[in-house]
Structure 1
């Protein structure tokens, strides 16, 4: 079995569990009670986590909505300058991912995430008052520095609550929010752009202001809704807190010591699967950032007007989000990752080929639905694949931050390849990225399978254990998810 249970030894890098006052016989949880506990955790945490990520992605991707609403003309930005503004966001975004993820426990989830949310909310509001390209560049840089910490920190927070085999479903909530933000953003933009001219302000300015105010409200929800210690959350009763304590002991090999250790950071930086995962994420994020930012423009290029291009994005985003929920649920049940990423990418390959060929606008619109399946499943399932295969906490924190740093540099590329209708360069580049990703996924699968087989041979006494690192995910009883 891929996850540790009560009968397996506990490895946390220090040879003993920190919850040493519980013996093995006590490490049993009634399955029915655990199902109820998980339902309660989901009900409490999921809405807050989804709201904050929805807010984050909405404030990031609305630059695609304001483009079709005339913002470049109003601030006298050329096509090249606007593309640079899309790309420049990721310069600070990738620079701050590792620092924020490593500092999560020290600064505590509640205070760190709330502070980041407040700052990017204010920046979004101020974006409604910019009058030149310099102002756009400045707000995008600050926005990137704040939002860079959210995704890796939320992923780490999930690992503090859920087992390895429970995580793809929960990570899927974040990427569903990416899809929802696209759908909600399109619907919101459709409504707010009708405010064009009110108080002498353009509709795109109202879009920034209103979405920024929404994010301020979300910051309050984060502060009161995400406890620093999920195992002692205010909504849990005494019995449920004890269940959380037992689950923590069972997951000790995955979580590890609470103390920061530079050695764990170094191990993560030398781990081949982190770099393979990062390269896969880079390819998949080419799609995610290009598609989510420029879908309104892609649809507008099919001959639809500004308002139509906003609300026609809604069903595409919904389809992408629902497909990820389905894939993630099955992936968790089977504890299999790579085959689902490979399968989802096949839809994207077909979709981008249709966008690049001479077909009717109806076929091209259908192609966007196929692309959406790969756009959301690829990055989400790949990240989960890394989440569940790195331990303990600070090794995983570094790994997630490094993987996201590598992957999110794709945002810089995405801003440059989607410039002019009909976006043949962008769609062609995305197709190529998908094909490269398929090869990398197969390579990572073979590498991880080799690691599992090596551990198995050591356990069976077929070969000596000459490995230098034997803790965390390198422990012999830690089986990597394929």
Structure 2
């Protein structure tokens, strides 16, 4: 969308080669629905207001979720397996079952988010997983830990896809990745924070008769519950009801969101009402959309390495010959660097209005990192192995928000986007179930099989990115030649991303 419009009555469909189209003005209950006049400075002012009000709490929520999901890796090297008399295979199953329930409940959770309001649904999820996490510190055997991980998957299922979808309800598609990266970088900071926090909490070993690894679960779970009670007052539901925006600002945000995909001479409020309606057909459209399933392979190419690293990085570093405390702390610089690179890359991606080149570049970094690890493992060069892991992680964290944002901006209609993103992220997170079994105890300290599998999934993901890019280019080219006179505005709105006016972002 062109933010610097000379006339308030024109709007451009982003990515379209067609000329500006008139935006009709009509009365509805005495209210003028024509889009407000605005400048790039006004747009930047509104975006800053939304960033300040929305992103800090979203970052905290995801930091806590990722912290609670991955702290089992820190607990492992603090004695969890010995105290619960578990084998390495049983530990892998505890990681795996989380993703079964996590995947199943993502789609219904995203639909509930729209119906029940984010300010209610997201804190409710937090309370649930905070309680489960706290109780994980009290389990006495393998069966107890396995059961707790199953319920943790149910409770956490709605958070990441919910927040990723929530951002698309506030920001236009050429502004979305920077915001996705800002909140997702909380996961990277969580990786660093997890190592520091686990190192500190483990010093409580013996307090109250509990081992240090138990306190990791208990304290981090209680922290989540406390934040959950603050969250409802810091989460704003939708632009239409945001009290921190003026009436003109609300109209402008809605105009930015709707005019980017709908086209035609339909006033933005009319488009908003149609796109926001729940129709089962929109959900079904997402379930049969080819691009969602190709994107899943891209997702696996990023998240298999992501989960493999988050679960096993402390163990990998420890097995290089470092003490447990040093292994915890050596994870910190990796995650901090990855967070910074992710935000910078997302800013550049939004500025260039391009997704695939950046995703492709960082996925190649992931592959290079694992090639370095495979080539140097077992050769008496732990520093080179550490460097290879470093390169891989710096590729993972910028690639992930790009992959999620790319699909989300190419799905039109609120409920189709909600369903498509949940399906993409839900099935995509089966990568966690797979990666949980890549790094087997009997393969330590080289972990050749695990590193090779991560590399293989990354290469498959790179191929998927290329297929998506070429397919989108071909479809956009065909739509440039379509005669638009055979369609009316509402027809094109209902077609969503299949509309002849819609252009896929590349």
Smaller-chain TM-score range? over 0.9
Matched, 1:370 2:373: no
Using a 3 Å threshold, how does the CA distance of structure 1 residues 389 and 246 change in structure 2: closer, same or farther?
closer
Instruction: After superposition, give the CA deviation of every residue in 1:432-452 in whole Å (9 maximum; x if it has no partner).
Output: 111111111101111111111
- Give the match for residue 20 of structure 2: none
Q: Is the 8 A contact 1:470 1:476 kept in 2?
A: no
Equivalences, count: 472
* The 10-residue stretch of structure 1 (470-479 or 414-423) with the greater mean CA deviation from structure 2: 470-479
Q: CA deviation at 1:335?
A: 1.1
TM, length-normalised to structure 2: 0.88
- Give the match for residue 488 of structure 2: none
Matched, 1:281 2:302: no
Using a 3 Å threshold, how does the CA distance of structure 1 residues 18 and 148 change in structure 2: closer, same or farther?
farther
Instruction: After superposition, give the CA deviation of every residue in 1:147-168 in whole Å (9 maximum; x if it has no partner).
Output: 1111111111111110000100
Superposed, 1:54-65 pairs within 5 Å as 54-65=63-74
- Give the match for residue 447 of structure 1: 471
Q: Is the 8 A contact 2:4 2:40 kept in 1?
A: no
Q: CA deviation at 1:309?
A: 0.8
In structure 1, what is the Cα distance between the partners aligned to 2:95 and 2:422? 21
- Give the match for residue 471 of structure 1: 495
Q: CA deviation at 1:245?
A: 4.6
Using a 3 Å threshold, how does the CA distance of structure 1 residues 4 and 394 change in structure 2: closer, same or farther?
farther
- Give the match for residue 456 of structure 2: 432
In structure 1, what is the Cα distance between the partners aligned to 2:175 and 2:26? 23
Q: Is the 8 A contact 1:17 1:252 kept in 2?
A: no
Q: Unpaired runs of 5+ in structure 2?
A: 15-22, 263-270, 486-490
Q: CA deviation at 1:317?
A: 0.6
Q: CA deviation at 1:249?
A: 5.0
Matched, 1:317 2:329: no
- Give the match for residue 167 of structure 1: 176
Using a 3 Å threshold, how does the CA distance of structure 1 residues 339 and 9 change in structure 2: closer, same or farther?
closer
Matched, 1:263 2:309: no
In structure 2, what is the Cα distance between the partners aligned to 1:218 and 1:444? 39
Superposed, 1:120-269 pairs within 5 Å as 120-251=129-260, 253=262, 256-269=274-287
TM, length-normalised to structure 1: 0.92
In structure 2, what is the Cα distance between the partners aligned to 1:17 and 1:251? 18
In structure 1, what is the Cα distance between the partners aligned to 2:4 and 2:68? 39
- Give the match for residue 34 of structure 1: 43
In structure 2, what is the Cα distance between the partners aligned to 1:324 and 1:118? 29
- Give the match for residue 268 of structure 2: none
Q: CA deviation at 1:229?
A: 2.5
Root-mean-square deviation (Å): 2.5
Instruction: After superposition, give the CA deviation of every residue in 1:195-221 in whole Å (9 maximum; x if it has no partner).
Output: 111122111111111111111122123
- Give the match for residue 299 of structure 1: 317
- Aligned to 1:257, the other structure's residue is in SS state helix
Q: Unpaired runs of 5+ in structure 1?
A: 462-466
Q: CA deviation at 1:416?
A: 0.7
Structure number with the bigger relative contact order (C-alpha 8 A, sep ≥ 6) is 1
Using a 3 Å threshold, how does the CA distance of structure 1 residues 362 and 284 change in structure 2: closer, same or farther?
same
Q: CA deviation at 1:45?
A: 0.8
Q: CA deviation at 1:178?
A: 1.1
Question: Of 80, 94, 98, which aligns to 2:107?
Answer: 98
- Aligned to 2:105, the other structure's residue is in SS state helix
